[in-house]
């Protein structure tokens, strides 16, 4: 069994060429053979009809074959035709001089066909030194004369067929060799590019994902395949790099509260303390545990979203109700920071998203807006949309997002300069988690800076066909 695809391709290509050429050559050879035989039959029939036209009309005139044996002028009339005139019994009445004393055969079956008025063609293999083609033409109105027989040698026809066969075989072999060599050269060139790609692909691993497969320099199928594979490698590189950053950042975020927990407990155990001090230490440890729990929950949610297992069933949720609930729930935090939360709802809109995910996303966005808004500022949550989608916009009056930070605000564990400078609490997972949830439901979150101050985060969700009064 041939396992090399290159050899299988070459063998298949050559076999197809051989079959096609064989069929074409056989068809051409058969057509040529029929043509030369038809030409000989036509010549024999024409000579028989000529002799028939020269037969005497008077019954007392002798019947002869008009040989062209003596001619004063040059003549191209063929003398290699054998002509014979027979009676009702098949006995020769006249014959051409080149026939000598021999006679063309006239078996009873032939006489029966002639009596029925049929012109008969036949091939004689054993007459004379060469195979002979003979035509017998019936005659009426000339007494006991029954037919004229004209025979011609098949030697020229056979020579033409043999020459054609040699020519077809020679041309076929030459063409097959030429096509096979050309195909082998093209296949070798194409597979050389594939071999280069395979060798480079084997060298690329997790440590050198920045390398790319060599492009053949053509825009054919192999070129497009290499471009597709290089694009896939680029996505894998970004994915691995994101995974490395995610692992490093997660380790750092988990290590910090664990270190604080260890330090607080070690300090508490160095000497005996009263119950109030132990209670204060345990409260501080409990806060760190809560932060750790929230961080682990967000990491687990992101992991499930990455695996496609956190979306849940599609629901039809009235976003205006979710906005009011989130605003009411975060009102105490806003009052503590002296920030107002305003809602602007143009209409009641139903979106294709679960109530829990929608509430989590909006809570993250409003919470961020409240944290970054100055004292006395205002956070505006507006709801609008069109026939295709619903848009929830959360606008704050904070410092906004620097231009170079906008492409990174939805990355995991990313915290901008404003968050680091103001020591705003958080680990940088809220926006990443919100974007992952919205994308899992076929939407997106956009972030833009306002011209005057602050930033706007817009949530785009598919609008449900269910009308607001039918939503849950």
Choose the final residue of a domain: 144, 159, 174: 159
In a domain, 31, yes or no: yes
Domain count, the chain: 3
Choose the final residue of a domain: 251, 275, 306: 306
Question: Which tens digit of pLDDT belongs to each residue from 64-103?
Answer: 777 655 444 554 455 578 899 888 888 888 888 888 888 8
Pairwise CA distance, residues 87 & 64, whole Å: 13
Retrieve residue 195's tokens.
Answer: 């071999």
Residues 301 and 333 in one domain: no
Residues 354 and 418 in one domain: yes
Residues 282 and 347 in one domain: no
* Whole-number pLDDT of residue 27: 92
Number of residues in the chain: 472
Question: Which tens digit of pLDDT belongs to each residue from 215-253?
Answer: 877 787 888 888 898 899 888 888 777 777 767 766 766
Residues 296 and 323 in one domain: no
Distance separating the N- and C-terminal Cα atoms of the chain: 65
* Whole-number pLDDT of residue 38: 93
Check which CATH number belongs to the domain holding 417 and give it: 3.30.565.10
Q: Is the pTM of this model over 0.85?
A: no
Most distant CA atoms of the chain, gap in Å? 164
Pairing of strands 455-462, 444-449: antiparallel
| Helices within 204-274 (DSSP H only) | 221-269
Indicate the burial class of 92 (C-beta count within 10 angstroms; 0-12, 13-18, 19 or more).
middle
Pairwise CA distance, residues 174 & 236, whole Å: 50
Mean pLDDT over each residue of the chain, to the nearest integer? 81
| Residue-range definition of the domain harbouring residue 146 | 5-67+75-159
Give 467's pLDDT tier (boundaries 50, 70, 90).
Answer: very low
For residue 331, how far is the Cα from the chain centroid?
56
Residues 285 and 392 in one domain: no
3 state DSSP class of 472: coil
* Whole-number pLDDT of residue 457: 92
Check which CATH number belongs to the domain holding 84 and give it: 3.30.450.20
Question: Which tens digit of pLDDT belongs to each residue from 185-209?
Answer: 888 777 787 888 888 888 888 778 7
The answer to whether residue 471 scores a pLDDT higher than 60 is no
Check which CATH number belongs to the domain holding 300 and give it: 1.10.287.130
Residues 35 and 152 in one domain: yes
DSSP state, residue 466: S
Mean pLDDT for the stretch of residues 312-335: 86
Residues 250 and 300 in one domain: yes
In a domain, 146, yes or no: yes
Question: Which tens digit of pLDDT belongs to each residue from 337-377?
Answer: 899 999 998 888 898 888 888 888 898 899 888 988 888 88
Residue from 47, 103, 105 nearest 78 by CA: 47
In a domain, 168, yes or no: no
Choose the final residue of a domain: 277, 306, 335: 306
Residues 327 and 296 in one domain: no
Element (H, E) at 294: helix 275-306
Question: Which tens digit of pLDDT belongs to each residue from 368-413?
Answer: 889 888 888 899 999 998 888 899 999 998 888 888 888 888 877 7
Say if residues 366 and 323 touch (Cβ distance below 8 Å).
no
Residues 329 and 271 in one domain: no
Question: Which tens digit of pLDDT belongs to each residue from 128-181?
Answer: 778 889 999 998 877 777 899 999 888 889 899 999 999 989 998 998 888 888
Pairing of strands 389-395, 455-462: antiparallel
In a domain, 174, yes or no: no
In a domain, 196, yes or no: no
Retrieve residue 251's tokens.
Answer: 């380790």
Residues 371 and 351 in one domain: yes
Cβ atoms < 10 Å from Cβ of 370: 23
Pairwise CA distance, residues 362 & 332, whole Å: 16
Question: Which tens digit of pLDDT belongs to each residue from 426-438?
Answer: 667 778 888 888 8
Pairwise CA distance, residues 110 & 84, whole Å: 14
In a domain, 62, yes or no: yes
Element (H, E) at 157: helix 155-203
The answer to whether residue 439 scores a pLDDT higher than 90 is no
The DSSP code sequence of 18-73 is: HHHHHHHHHHHHHHHHHHHHHHHHHHHHHHHHHHHHTS-SSTTSPP--------SS
* Whole-number pLDDT of residue 45: 92
Residues 234 and 335 in one domain: no
Query: Is the CA virtual torsion 28, 33, 36, 37 positive or negative?
Result: negative
Give 417's pLDDT tier (boundaries 50, 70, 90).
Answer: low
Above pLDDT 70, what percent of the chain? Answer: 86
* Whole-number pLDDT of residue 414: 74
Mean pLDDT for the stretch of residues 109-133: 87
């Amino acid at each position: 069994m041939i396992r090399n695809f290159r050899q299988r391709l070459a063998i298949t290509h050559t076999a197809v060429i051989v079959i096609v050429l064989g069929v074409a050559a056989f068809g051409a050879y058969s057509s040529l053979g029929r043509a030369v035989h038809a030409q000989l039959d036509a010549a024999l029939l024409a000579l028989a009809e000529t002799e028939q036209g020269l037969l005497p009309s008077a019954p007392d005139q002798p019947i002869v074959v008009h040989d062209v044996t003596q001619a004063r002028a040059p003549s191209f009339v063929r003398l290699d035709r054998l002509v014979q005139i027979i009676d009702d019994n098949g006995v020769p009445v006249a014959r051409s001089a080149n026939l000598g004393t021999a006679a063309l055969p006239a078996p009873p079956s032939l006489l029966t066909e002639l009596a029925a008025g049929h012109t008969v063609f036949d091939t004689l293999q054993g007459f004379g030194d060469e195979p002979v083609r003979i035509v017998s033409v019936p005659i009426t109105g000339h007494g006991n004369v029954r037919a004229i027989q004209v025979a011609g040698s098949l030697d020229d026809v056979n020579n033409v067929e043999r020459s054609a066969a040699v020519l077809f075989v020679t041309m076929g072999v030459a063409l097959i060799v030429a096509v096979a060599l050309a195909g082998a050269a093209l296949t070798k060139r194409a597979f050389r590019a594939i071999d280069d790609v395979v060798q480079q692909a084997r060298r690329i691993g997790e440590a050198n994902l920045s390398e790319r497969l060599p492009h053949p320099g053509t825009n054919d199928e192999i070129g497009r395949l290499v471009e597709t594979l290089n694009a896939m490698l680029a996505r894998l590189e970004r994915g691995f790099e994101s995974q490395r950053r995610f692992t490093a950042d997660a380790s750092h975020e988990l290590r910090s509260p664990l270190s604080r927990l260890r330090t607080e407990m070690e300090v508490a155990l160095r000497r005996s303390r009263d119950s109030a001090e132990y209670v204060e230490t345990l409260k501080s440890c409990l806060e760190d545990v809560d932060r750790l729990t929230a961080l682990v929950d967000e990491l687990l949610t992101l992991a499930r979203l990455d695996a496609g297992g956190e979306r849940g069933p599609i629901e039809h949720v009235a976003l205006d109700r979710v906005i009011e609930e989130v605003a009411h729930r975060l009102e105490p935090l806003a009052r503590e920071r002296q920030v107002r939360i305003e809602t602007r709802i143009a209409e009641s809109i139903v979106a294709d998203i679960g109530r829990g995910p929608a509430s989590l996303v909006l809570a993250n966005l409003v919470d961020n807006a409240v944290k970054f808004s100055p004292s006395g500022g205002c956070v505006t949550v507006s709801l609008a949309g069109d026939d295709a989608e619903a848009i929830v916009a959360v606008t704050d009056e904070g410092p906004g997002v620097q231009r170079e930070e906008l492409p990174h605000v939805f990355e995991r564990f990313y915290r901008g300069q404003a968050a680091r400078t103001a020591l705003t609490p958080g680990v940088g997972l809220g926006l990443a988690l919100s974007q992952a949830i919205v994308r899992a439901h076929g939407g997106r979150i956009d972030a833009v800076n306002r011209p005057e101050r602050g930033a706007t985060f817009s949530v785009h969700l598919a609008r449900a066909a269910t009308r607001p009064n039918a939503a849950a």
